[in-house]
């Protein structure tokens, strides 16, 4: 079992920044890939960003150039730095770990006001 705990969400004005954290219960070096997903009301859950064990990253087109996914293996934590936030970024953000199967955190709310 992998436990994932997200933090760092909150309310921010458009143009502002937030950094989300996802703390894993195991060494993230052992996790094949970790990613951030988000789900807005009435919308499907969508991929935001992913980072593999090898360090490669991928981003959704909607966030490319604004968001950065990174990790700190010593802290077993993955981060999502979100800059130039837009109201369209408002969603619950979920951490995901690919470790033999998928594990999910409970999510953290990000609300961007106009």
pLDDT band of 1, cuts 50, 70, 90: confident
23, 75 contact by CB (below 8 A): yes
Using alpha carbons, list the distances in angstroms from residue 79 to 50, 91, 114.
10, 17, 24
State the virtual CA torsion across 10, 7, 33, 90 in degrees, nearest 10: -10
Give CA–CA dist 74/113, Å, rounded: 34
Order of strands across the sheet that contains 4-7: 4-7, 18-24, 77-82, 67-72
30, 8 contact by CB (below 8 A): no
Residue 107 has pLDDT above 90, yes or no: yes
**Mean pLDDT score of the chain, rounded to an integer?**
96
Encode pLDDT of 82-104 as tens digits: 999 999 999 999 999 999 999 99
> What backbone phi and psi angles, to 5 degrees, belong to 4?
-125, 130
Structure tokens at 34: 């970790």
């Amino acid at each position: 079992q992998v436990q994932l705990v997200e933090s760092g969400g909150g309310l921010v004005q458009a143009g502002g920044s937030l950094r989300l954290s996802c703390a894993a219960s195991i060494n993230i070096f052992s996790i094949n890939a970790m990613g951030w997903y988000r789900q807005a009301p009435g919308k499907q859950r969508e991929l935001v960003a992913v980072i593999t064990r090898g360090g490669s990253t991928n981003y959704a087109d909607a966030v490319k150039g604004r968001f950065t996914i990174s990790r700190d293996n010593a802290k077993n934590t993955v981060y999502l730095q979100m800059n130039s936030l837009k109201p369209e970024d408002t969603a619950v953000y979920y951490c995901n770990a690919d470790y033999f199967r998928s594990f999910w955190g409970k999510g953290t709310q990000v609300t961007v006001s106009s």
